[in-house]
Structure 1
């Protein structure tokens, strides 16, 4: 197979719709997407379950500057469950130049899981790789353009709707998206350029040193997406709590579950392969992931302490008011 021009991916992250974190056996049952294929499991440094990879066939276009590149092949999809609570759907494909400029039989494409071949004329490898990466992240969407977002969302919706889940999560949390590209840059890598596109969508451009690092790039992006989601959810919980009085039950009901169920999941780089773990050092400096997390957790604990004190004072005040003798 030809050296990939670029690897494109999307990771959607949400809270598993379950009141309790799943055990290894429960995670294995939920993530068993293919009969006879085992769910991968890690116990250290934190629980991590990864489903078998399922291929989705595509025959579509990719933005390439002012033109498009016609690609045929498959997108590799999988489900990740971190800490028994953080649910992710991951979709990716390696874009390669086809050896023949004509469509081949589907058996050819199915035999290469997670690979799409460009069957139209494109520039040389370095130029095409950059153009395809930028086209995926910033180009037009809809129509016959490759839609990793829909592929990822369909798989996530399927898992979230599983009848074995009680659909009673302890925290209200949004779904976030991380769109990513990875190119082979030789001695130029590994590097990462992260952008927050809006409140729930992020994009990252990666350069890795060798083709063998592309699998590690996907795992890094899944790890990054999980930690970005944790930051987002804690910030949302604090914003939501500010809508209620300090002594209110609603405020405590918003803050306490986030502290109890989410703060123990923070371990940046813990599930990133060694080849790309150095990228976390950059992210710890700018934008400062762990610094943000430490600040949010401290605010969360301080808010709970203040809310608890306010509730106690409010209770004492009400009790004193009720016991005050009535004058005649």
Structure 2
């Protein structure tokens, strides 16, 4: 199947990404990352060391035959498979991602499973797909008996986190986030657009209009990268929120050191994003101000550590 909006391609791609700190006391090495993400025996874990350590599990397919989410209750049905994978960044941050793409129409009757298995990650409608209604409904969240891609991502996350090599001794308190996204081809003459929203419950939504021919897998990678950096910013802001600035707080240096040791070096926007979508990331970053906020917080953390080091050197000892 081709890219978004091409004659043989989908008119819609949707997905959800879950992000959390790997539940173990320290970053895992490359060999351990392979063990964690070896979800299938017939395909290897993909590893990358540049620009940072990045491990990707083999893709897993989940067969579905159900109604897609819809804002107007449109009666429709999709059949096929949802693709899911797990990603481990620097042996420290775990993501699970599930997504699918869908063409404008399909056969008027349901075909045998073999027809759908030959198109992994594609959900084919029975008849026509109400693409706009499905896109809006997907971002709003599934209703009863509707396709729930988030539950597929969550199930994969739980599977990895149950691995016996993890010690579940987290070095700092963190938050878990979900990013739900949709992508449709831009109308001819229309510029790329991005609509990004955040809710207090850890849910983020992204509605994308992208150039014709954009590969759904590339969009999924873009959204994983956005979800990672949103999680990093959210987690560091949460850790700093309400912490007293006074040197008398003995817990603050430990929190600051944990942030430096485990998270500050992970900020690397677009490190694993398809080059064709770098401009979209830059537009997102400009809209959210994430990089500016991250730089300010990182400098604040380093300044606090320097001030505490200076105070400790000038602290009078019992022998003075």
Gaps of 5+ in 2: 2-7
The DSSP-based 3-state class of the residue aligned with 1:9 is: strand
Question: Take 2:164 and 2:189, find their aligned partners in 1: how far apart are those partners?
Answer: 49
User: 1:1-328 residue pairs with structure 2 within 5 A?
Assistant: 2-68=8-74, 69-122=76-129, 128-138=130-140, 141-185=142-186, 188=190, 190-239=192-241, 241-242=243-244, 246-308=247-309, 316=316, 319=318
* Cα deviations by residue, 1:284-303 (Å, 9 ceiling, x for unpaired): 32221210100111222233
Question: Take 2:113 and 2:146, find their aligned partners in 1: how far apart are those partners?
Answer: 20
Question: Take 2:197 and 2:115, find their aligned partners in 1: how far apart are those partners?
Answer: 36
Question: Take 1:202 and 1:120, find their aligned partners in 2: how far apart are those partners?
Answer: 31
Gaps of 5+ in 1: 123-127, 324-328
* Cα deviations by residue, 1:245-304 (Å, 9 ceiling, x for unpaired): 642322222221011211111111111110001112213322212101001112222333
**Residue 199 (structure 1) shift:** 4.5
**Larger Cα-atom Rg:** 1
**Residue 32 (structure 1) shift:** 1.0
In the alignment, which residue of structure 2 is the partner of 1:326? none
Question: Take 2:54 and 2:209, find their aligned partners in 1: how far apart are those partners?
Answer: 26
The DSSP-based 3-state class of the residue aligned with 2:241 is: helix
Normalised by the length of structure 2, the TM-score is 0.89
**Residue 169 (structure 1) shift:** 2.7
Contact 1:247 1:308 (8 Å CA) reproduced = no
Length, aligned pairs only: 312
Question: Take 2:195 and 2:61, find their aligned partners in 1: how far apart are those partners?
Answer: 28
**Residue 65 (structure 1) shift:** 3.7
Given the superposition, is the C-alpha separation of residues 86 and 240 from structure 1 closer, same or farther in structure 2, using an over 3 Å criterion? farther
Contact 1:192 1:206 (8 Å CA) reproduced = yes
Aligned residues: CA RMSD: 2.3
Question: Take 1:38 and 1:189, find their aligned partners in 2: how far apart are those partners?
Answer: 39
Normalised by the length of structure 1, the TM-score is 0.87
Is the helix fraction higher in 1 or 2? Answer: 1
* Cα deviations by residue, 1:201-256 (Å, 9 ceiling, x for unpaired): 111111221344322111110011101111011101101534x9642322222221
Given the superposition, is the C-alpha separation of residues 21 and 187 from structure 1 closer, same or farther in structure 2, using an over 3 Å criterion? farther
* Cα deviations by residue, 1:134-176 (Å, 9 ceiling, x for unpaired): 111125x341111111111111011011101222232221111
Contact 2:107 2:125 (8 Å CA) reproduced = no
**Residue 109 (structure 1) shift:** 2.1
